[in-house]
Structure formats: C-alpha cells, structure tokens
Amino acid sequence: MSAKTNLRSLLIILFVYSVNTAAYDVHWLGGSTTIDRDYPTSKQTVDIYCYSGTSKSLLALWQTVKFHVKLKNNEFSQYIGSTPEEVYKDYTEDSYGWSSVISPFQRKSQKTLALELFTPTCMAINTKQRHSIELQVIRVDIWKVLLMLLGIILISSAKSLSGNPLFFYLCGVLIGVFASFMVLVYYVSKLLPKKTLTYGILIGGWTVGVYVFQQIWENVRTIVASYQTYVFWYTLLASFISFLVCYRIGPPRNQRSKNLVMWTLQAVGVLMIFFSSEYQEAAASVIVMTLTVKYFPDWLLHRIQGFWRSRFPPKPRLLSNEEYYEQGARETKRALEELRKHCASPDCAQWRVMLKLNDSKRFASFVEGNSHLSDDEILDYESYAFSMENARKPNRHSTRDNNMEISDDDSSDDDEI
C-alpha cells in the first residue's frame, strides 16, 4: 500500500513539473543582451528573463547590472523573483508586487531595474504589446568610482575641512535650503486629511500609498516646472538666510566642536565608500586601508623606514666634478648666510668676538652684508687659478713640439735620401 502511495506521489510531482516547465520559458542572459518580443494572442507560455549573477572578484568592484524594459506605454505588469518558479508563481497569482508600480523617477518609455550583482534575479513581463528586454552590464560605473574617491578624499581631508570657513558656509547653506523644503513639506502635509488617507491605505494596501506618493511627486514636478521663477527666488532667499545664520554663528573655534565636525565628515565618507560598491567585503577593506593610512603613527613609520634602510641600504651615487663644485659653492653660501644671521642676532656676544679678532672692521663689514673675502685674496685666488691653468697647458704644447720635432727629423731624412 505504501509503494502505491509513493508511486502516486511521484507521478503527481512529475505531472506538476511537466506542466510548470511547459508553462514558461526561461531565458538566461549573460553580458549585455537585448531580446525583442512580439506576443501573438495564441501564445500560452510566459517568458522569464533571468540573470545568473557573477562571482565576487575585484573586477566586479564597480560593476552595475540593470534590466531595461522598453515599450511604448505603461500597460504592463512586472514580476521579480530570485528563481523562475517564484516569478511564475507571482505571475499566476497576479500578486501585488512592488515591481508592478512604476517609479516616477523613470522615463515612461523605458523602465529600469537595478539588479543585485551577486544574486540570481528573474523577471517576467505581462503585456500583449511588443517590447524588448535589455540586460545592461556596466563593467566600471563611473558614478561608483567617483563616490568611492569622494569618500576617500572626505576621510583624508576631514581634519582640514572641519576648520575651513568656506566649507562651513557651503554646508550651512545647503542644509538650510534642504531644511526649509522639509519644513514646507511638513506644513503642507498638515493640510491633508489624515483619517481619509489612512483609511484608504488600510483598505487599498500599500500600493495606494505609493500611488498617492506618485501623484504628489508629479504635482510637485509640475509646480516646479510651472513656477521656476518663484522656486529660484525661494531657493535664493533660503540660501541668503542660511548664510546670515551661519555668519552669525561663525565657524567652529572650539577644538571639540571641530572634532565633532571631523568625525561626522569621516562617518559620511565611510558610508559613501561602503555604498559605492555591491562588493561589500572589498568596500570594507578600502575603508580599513584608508583609516589605517590616515591614522598610522609617524614614529612607527619612521622606525619601519629605518629598519628597511638598514637591511637594504641605498647605493650611494658619486658626484661629478661639476656637481661637486656646485654643491660646494651652494653650501658655502648657505653657511655664510647662517653665520651672518647668527652674528647679527642678540645670541652672539659681538664685542667679545671682536676683541679676539685681528681685524674687527672686516668682521663688522661681513656682518653688514659685504663679502667675506678682500680684494687681495680674490686677486691671489684668480692668480692661483690662472697659474694652474697654465700648468696644464705646457703638457699639450710640449706634446705638440715633440711631434713637430719628429716631423722635422723625418723631413730632413727625406731630404738626405
């Protein structure tokens, strides 16, 4: 009896599986792919488009994957799931999925859905119109790269920005304008009928709330587009008032206030780096490395450098004659300037030094900025240099004379011959 029951259950499972596999077609998309579909009225199967996901690697650090649905109007339903079976179940039950609501930020002729990079995602479209499904794979998303770089810069320069007046006024104006809009939205929401809106959301579900939000957003966009002049003057007035408030308060001068601003900026930078990539392990590693480089102790860095130089000393480079003379002249001039400044400073006992010198007038002239060499010393040095040059020249002249003597002897021999 148990064998018959098991056989019956197996047949039921096989039947259900065969029906489900025949009820929908799964299209696994890899890389940038576009599929055009024109459904006839007799089509019974459901097309499910799936993205299998990618493996975690550094090449996927700034990668972005999107589904684009292109059709002429918005008469369609969209179902999202992690497996084809889940999507087909939602399709057959015609559930109220969040994906059936079109975001007001998207264009009406093109619906975009950002996919999770490392998780399989499937999607089905319920429409009788011709449409196309595009899987867009962006290997390096420039916005994610900029977001990560901005987070690293914010962490690295948070200390300097916390005391920068220009940065203080800029952030104050932006926060003031944003806060004024929030206050305006708050007072506008006071005018809405709360009970009616609450009952409508409870009866119609959360899709009603999303629909209301969509309509409010469309109205706000219409108001902004129709009254651009008023919106501009409102933003300008709010910016001016925010600037006055910031000017009255002034930039933070207390070190503790600067530390709070610095920690806040660093926290914002950490969040920007963390959300700049879906590869969260790699993003966390970038955060740790940035903070380590930022707060790495200087004494430990110098000790590591000293240990490295002791184990692997750099190979010394010998100076050429020109570099030797240039370095000697440069260092001599620098040493004389330092000596002149020391002698002119109150730290130097000038009278005591002058008593020990034979020529005190020359010392005073040197301190006042004149040359440390006298005219006779310069003339002796030039005579010595000229004599050294003449000492080198006779060698060449003697060689030339010897060659001439040899040539004379040869010519005389030729004459005798």
Q: Report pLDDT for 272.
A: 93
Count other C-beta atoms under 10 Å from residue 296's C-beta: 10
Same domain (yes/no): 165, 244: yes
CB within 8 Å of 121: residues ≥ 6 apart = 50, 51, 53, 67, 80, 81, 82, 115
The pair of three-digit structure tokens given for residue 405, joined into one six-digit string: 């003597």
pLDDT above 50 (res 359)? yes
Q: Report pLDDT for 106.
A: 39
Task: Convert the pLDDT of each residue in 376-395 to its tens digit.
Answer: 777 887 787 777 767 765 55
Same domain (yes/no): 276, 186: yes
Q: Is 271 inside any structural domain?
A: yes
Q: Is 323 inside any structural domain?
A: no
Same domain (yes/no): 277, 170: yes
Helix-helix angle 142-156:280-294, to 10 degrees:
30
**360/209 Cα distance (integer angstroms):** 97
Residue that wins the pLDDT comparison between 15 and 231: 231
How does residue 12 score in pLDDT terms, banded at 50, 70 and 90? very low
Same domain (yes/no): 230, 118: no
Same domain (yes/no): 265, 170: yes
Same domain (yes/no): 34, 117: yes
Q: Report pLDDT for 285.
A: 92
One-letter amino acid for residue 92 of the chain: T
290-296's contacts with Cβ under 8 Å and 24+ in sequence apart are 290/152, 290/155, 290/156, 291/155, 293/156, 294/155, 294/156
Task: Convert the pLDDT of each residue in 164-200 to its tens digit.
Answer: 888 888 888 888 888 887 777 667 666 655 555 555 5
Query: Could you give the number of structural domains in the chain?
Result: 3
Q: How many CA atoms lie within 13 A of 405 on its CB side?
A: 6
Average pLDDT on 353-373 reads: 80
Same domain (yes/no): 99, 210: no
Structural domain containing residue 78: 22-140
Same domain (yes/no): 82, 181: no
Same domain (yes/no): 39, 171: no
The pair of three-digit structure tokens given for residue 415, joined into one six-digit string: 């004459």
One-letter amino acid for residue 212 of the chain: V
pLDDT above 60 (res 29)? yes
Closest CA to 125 of 25, 9, 206, 275: 25
Same domain (yes/no): 207, 154: yes
CA dihedral 58, 281, 83, 125 (to 10 degrees): -70
How high is the mean pLDDT of the chain? Answer: 76
Same domain (yes/no): 168, 121: no
Average pLDDT on 130-136 reads: 82
Q: Is 367 inside any structural domain?
A: yes
pTM for the structure as a whole: 0.56
Q: Report pLDDT for 395.
A: 52
Phi, psi at 118, each rounded to 5°: -105, 10
